[in-house]
């Protein structure tokens, strides 16, 4: 059920963002959810399972499981023990680490996680030599497998010069997923620490917006409420954004994540993916998309709502 159709059913928060065919459940990982900034959840499909593992103050790590082979990948495992707890509960074998970028709150668990599983040869993927424990550097379009799941690397530099997003599909054509790190957030995007507006335009509009609309978006942080508050500042009459903002606040009030989103949802609500939209351009007082991107980022950097 798309979230836009449940505004009158906000109490059904655990089902709010999911297709009816998908089972979404709270997972305790064998411990109290008070150890997490959000209640851990699992999204299951016949071939692909994704566990959201909250970390630090607002980060998300992920465990990607191939259901047929029981092989799995950890995405940005900054807190290795929490990932190992999830692996134990899933009874799967860790073969892969997917690192979106080198920042400590995403990559600094790599070394420890590899050392904690000495019996297993773990492939550590990433697009930047600054990533700890990196042993397989990837670039745009590179592909590999986690079990039978297909992973395609999308080079999206801007937040950092080596940022990679990972697009995951199954052989049976299930709903795909993309792990976007700090490039694309729900309702927003990462700061341009090592890049420019044209680089983020390429990442969000040229690359990510072209993924299938039903692609689930798994980002690196729980920033949704603040992001959508800014989105409404940009487009105060966007009714879809208004509904999602209400939903997101309800999710957080219940200690539930606002992840995942979808590419389709982001194209309707995320101003950074709507820089070609006339209403967004009007707010930015320009008709040029890259200039719009730059204006939005600068304004968002100083936005207090």
pLDDT number for residue 305? 75
Name the pTM for this structure.
Answer: 0.90
The yes-or-no answer on residue 182 being catalytic is: yes
Catalytic-labelled residue, pool 47, 66, 76, 101? 101
Q: b/e string for 175-197 if b means 16 or more Cβ within 10 A?
A: bbbbbbbbbbbbbbbbebeebeb
Catalytic-labelled residue, pool 106, 128, 163, 283? 106
**Residue 121 counted as domain residue:** yes
pLDDT number for residue 10? 32
**Residue 231 counted as domain residue:** no
The yes-or-no answer on residue 106 being catalytic is: yes
Q: Which of 124, 127, 202, 109 is nearest to 165 (CA)?
A: 127
Catalytic-labelled residue, pool 102, 128, 159, 163? 159
**Residue 71 counted as domain residue:** yes
pLDDT number for residue 32? 36
pLDDT tens string, the chain, 305 residues long: the values are: 344 333 333 333 333 334 333 334 333 333 333 467 888 899 999 999 999 999 999 999 999 999 999 999 999 999 999 999 999 999 999 999 999 999 999 999 999 999 999 988 999 999 999 999 999 999 999 999 999 999 999 999 999 999 999 999 999 999 999 999 999 999 999 999 999 999 999 999 999 999 999 999 999 999 999 999 999 999 999 999 999 999 999 999 999 999 999 999 999 999 999 999 999 999 999 999 999 999 999 999 999 87
HSE-CB at 242 with a 13 A cutoff on CA atoms is 5
**Residue 229 counted as domain residue:** no
Catalytic-labelled residue, pool 47, 66, 105, 128? 105
pLDDT number for residue 37? 83
Cα–chain center distance at 51: 12
Please, where are the H alpha helices in 56-156? 80-90, 104-107, 110-116
The yes-or-no answer on residue 101 being catalytic is: yes
H or E element in which residue 265 lies: helix 263-269
Catalytic-labelled residue, pool 85, 102, 182, 283? 182
**Residue 244 counted as domain residue:** no
CATH code for position 100: 3.60.15.10
**Residue 25 counted as domain residue:** yes
**Residue 51 counted as domain residue:** yes
The one-character DSSP state at 174 is P
Tell me the C-alpha to C-alpha distance, in Å, between residue 115 and each of 110, 198, 246.
9, 39, 43
Please name the residues in contact with 69: beta carbons below 8 A apart, sequence gap of 6 or more.
147, 148
The yes-or-no answer on residue 103 being catalytic is: yes
**Residue 232 counted as domain residue:** no
Q: Which of 36, 38, 75 is nearest to 180 (CA)?
A: 75
The yes-or-no answer on residue 221 being catalytic is: yes
Range of the domain at 67: 20-222
For 105, other C-beta atoms within 10 Å of its C-beta total 18
Catalytic-labelled residue, pool 102, 163, 221, 283? 221
Query: In total, how many domains does the chain have?
Result: 1
pLDDT number for residue 35? 67
pLDDT number for residue 8? 35
């Amino acid at each position: 059920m798309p979230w836009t159709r449940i505004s009158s059913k906000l109490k059904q928060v655990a089902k709010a963002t999911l297709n009816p065919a998908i089972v979404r459940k709270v997972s305790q990982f064998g411990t109290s959810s008070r150890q997490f900034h959000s209640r851990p959840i699992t999204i299951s499909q016949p071939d692909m399972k994704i566990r959201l593992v909250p970390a630090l103050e607002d980060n998300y790590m992920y465990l990607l499981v191939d259901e047929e082979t029981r092989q799995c990948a950890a995405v940005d495992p900054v807190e290795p023990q929490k990932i190992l707890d999830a692996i134990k509960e899933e009874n799967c074998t860790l073969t892969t680490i997917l690192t979106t970028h080198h920042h400590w709150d995403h990559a600094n668990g790599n070394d420890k996680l590899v050392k904690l599983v000495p019996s297993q040869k773990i492939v550590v993927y990433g697009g930047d030599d600054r990533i700890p424990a990196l042993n397989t550097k990837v670039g745009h379009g590179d592909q590999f497998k986690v079990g039978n799941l297909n992973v395609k690397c999308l080079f999206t530099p801007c937040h950092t010069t080596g940022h990679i997003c990972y697009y995951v599909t199954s052989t049976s054509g299930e709903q795909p997923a993309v792990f976007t790190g700090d490039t694309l957030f729900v309702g927003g995007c990462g700061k341009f620490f090592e890049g420019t507006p044209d680089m983020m335009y390429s990442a969000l509009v040229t690359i990510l917006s072209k993924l299938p609309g039903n692609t689930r978006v798994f980002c690196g942080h729980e920033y949704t409420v603040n992001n959508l508050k800014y989105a409404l500042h940009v487009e105060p009459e966007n009714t879809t954004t208004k509904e999602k903002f209400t939903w997101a606040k309800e999710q957080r009030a219940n200690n539930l994540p606002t992840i995942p989103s979808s590419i389709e949802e982001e194209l309707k609500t995320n101003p950074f993916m709507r820089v070609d939209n006339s209403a967004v351009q009007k707010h930015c007082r320009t008709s040029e998309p890259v200039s719009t991107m730059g204006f939005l980022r600068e304004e968002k950097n100083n936005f207090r709502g």
